[in-house]
Amino acid sequence: MTAPISNVRPEPDQVLVDIADYVLNSEVTSALALDTARNCLIDTLGCGLEALSYPACTKLLGPIVPGTIVPNGAKVPGTPFQLDPVQAAFNIGTMIRWLDFNDTWLAAEWGHPSDNLGGILATADWLSRNAVAAGKAPLVMKDVLVAMVKAHEIQGVIALENSFNKVGLDHVLLVKVASTAVVGRMLGLSREEIINAVSLAFVDGHALRTYRHAPNTGSRKSWAAGDATSRAVRLALIAKTGEMGYPSVLTARTWGFYDVLFKCNAFKFQRPYGSYVMENVLFKISFPAEFHAQTAVEAAMTIHGLLKAKGKTAENIAKITIRTHEAAIRIIDKKGPLDNPADRDHCIQYMVAVPLLFGRLTAADYEDAVAADPRIDALRAKMTCFEDTQFTHDYHDPDKRSIANALAVELDDGTTLEEVVVEYPIGHKRRRADGIPLLVDKFRTNLARRFPAKQQQAILDVSLDQVQLETMPVNEYVDLYVI
């Protein structure tokens, strides 16, 4: 007979304790992390503003019940909505992820740590407006930046050694966990309550990756993070009521997360929580493309220029070989028909074909009107991907963290162009000096999509000044984005 499982309530799992102690006790002293968080903030909000141009996104926004009014609710940038913090988190999270253009973290697990901004900004704004209404001091934007650093760190450090995709779970699980922890800290939860809240996040139902992969790729991948960060706010609020948690949610035999969902493996950790992830995060600056293809798109843009200089076009290409890393093969190497924009922006062949043909890759290039051009699929059919094991090794190397791709092109006259290799995309830490001015330009462009010139300038004046931004009340900063 199997020995009965003890009914003595255990001490909380160490993973829960470490997260709670980090969000409560760790000071963010890294100037680099805070400066990068400011750049991350403006880039993420800019991505959300661009997404408001797409009806497929805006149809999901607003209150759950039309006409709902929430006194002192959180405002949704670029919109007239003022909502409860849970629904505001969904709105903001959905906007910023819609076009697959916000930051990225690549490791054993992939993801987009700025997805957590949905819950962070909504909660901070809601708390600030209620504080002001009660005659108390609001939170300031430094509180938002610090929460961003910590959410990035929780999501990214867990992702370094633990692959959720290999067991079929979507990376937004980590958004839910990280957002729950930092939002719980904002809400004033005790150490025990934060442990409870994070346990609720782990015991919660988790999204499958079904919507990211053929033959089911679809638009849920664009609102899954909004769903996760809003769920985190809800769970933190539940924990704030004193609702109990589940201390061995990870390690419980038979019924715990490890046994049920992680093939009986415990999480592994490469490093303690600090500010490493924010300092090394990857920005998507030039192209709204799944990050494993960013360097492939850069290489394709270079080849487009080389073809033009030779008096050739993409239609003169006979064969394209893409030398890449294992994660790209697993996620975005796709043959056959592509059914929708969500399918196309996760296909490396499509993301290479468009710049080879047109010398550009924008969000609009994933829409049906562009995809209908028969030259795109004709060019895709000429492409072959294969893994370079050194690229894969450098991808996982903590001192390199490259995302390399190489394109070799053979023309229809038999000539071969010199292979174009790009190891680090423009948004990589190693290219910050080149990347940040372009990131600011991207933000300016996105502001211009939504606001008149005077409002754009007011946002820029504070957003580009670290000291001014950090000291500004959250509600006042969000008010700059109201239409």
3-state helix, strand, coil in the chain (%, to 5): 55, 10, 35
Task: Report the half-sphere exposure of 377 (CA within 13 A, side-chain side).
Answer: 11
Query: Which class for 398: exposed (0-12), middle (13-18), buried (19 or more C-beta within 10 A)?
Result: exposed
- Banded pLDDT at 16 (limits 50, 70, 90): very high
Measure the CA–CA gap between 396 and 270, rounded to whole angstroms: 12
pLDDT averaged over every residue in the chain: 96
Work out the angle at residue 400's Cα, subtended by the Cα atoms of residues 324 and 279, and round it to the nearest 5 degrees. Answer: 120
Q: What is the DSSP string of 368-434?
A: HHHHT-HHHHHHHTTEEEEE-HHHHHHHH-TTT----EEEEEEETTS-BPPPEEE-S-TTSGGGHHH
The whole-number pLDDT of residue 3 equals 60
* Crossing angle (nearest 10°) for helices 85-97 and 31-51: 90
Task: Give the per-residue pLDDT at 381.
Answer: 97
Residue 106: predicted pLDDT: 87
Instruction: Give the span between the Cα atoms of 397 and 225, in whole angstroms.
Output: 27
HSE-up (13 A, CA, CB side) for residue 178: 31
Could you tell me the two tokens for 97? 């992820």
pLDDT of res. 20: 98
- pLDDT at position 237, please? 98
CA-to-CA separations, 316 to 77, 222, 345, in angstroms, rounded: 46, 35, 24
pLDDT for 2 beyond 60: no
In this prediction, residues 211-222 reach a mean pLDDT of: 92
Q: What is the pTM of this model?
A: 0.90
What percentage of the chain carries pLDDT values higher than 70?
A: 99
Amino acid 7: pLDDT: 82
Mean pLDDT across 158-181:
97
Of 5-14, 199-208, 243-252, the poorest mean pLDDT is in 5-14
5, pLDDT greater than 80: no
Question: Could you give the CA distance from residue 458 to residue 253 in angstroms, rounded to a whole number?
Answer: 56
Question: What's the rounded mean pLDDT across residues 200-220?
Answer: 94
Does the pLDDT at position 73 exceed 90?
A: yes
- Is residue 83 within 8 Å of residue 91, measured between CB atoms? yes
Q: What is the pLDDT of residue 289?
A: 83
Examine residue 215 and say whether the peptide bond preceding it is cis (omega within 30 degrees of 0): yes
Q: Who contacts 425 (Cβ-Cβ below 8 Å, separation ≥6)?
A: 282, 285, 291, 294, 295, 298, 403, 431
Tell me the per-residue pLDDT of 438-473, one tens digit each, with 9 for 90 and over: 999 999 999 999 999 999 999 999 999 999 999 999
Whole-number pLDDT of residue 4: 66
Give the pLDDT mean for 139-158: 98
Calpha distance 17→251 (Å, rounded): 13
User: Could you tell me if 140 and 472 are in contact, meaning their C-beta atoms sit under 8 angstroms apart?
Assistant: yes
- 256-303 residue pLDDT tens: 999 999 999 999 999 999 999 999 999 999 888 888 999 999 999 999
Per-residue pLDDT tens digits for 83-128: 999 999 999 999 999 998 999 998 899 899 999 999 999 999 999 9
The Cα–Cα gap between 472 and 468 comes to 6
What token pair was written down for 478? 């969000």
Residue-wise DSSP of 417-454: PPPEEE-S-TTSGGGHHHHHHHHHHHHHHHHHTTS-HH
- Cα dist. 353→234, 386, 403, 454, 478 in Å? 42, 17, 19, 39, 39
State how far the alpha carbon of 209 is from the alpha carbons of 172, 266, 294, in Å: 9, 21, 21
Instruction: Give, rounded to a whole angstrom, the gap between the first and last alpha carbons of the chain.
Output: 67
- Each residue's pLDDT tens digit, 400-451: 889 999 999 999 999 999 999 999 999 999 999 999 999 999 999 999 999 9
| Contact between 104 and 215 (Cβ < 8 Å) | no
Among residues 131, 203, 147, 431, the alpha carbon closest in space to that of 298 is found at 431
Chain segment 315-340, per-residue pLDDT in tens? 999 999 999 999 999 989 999 999 99
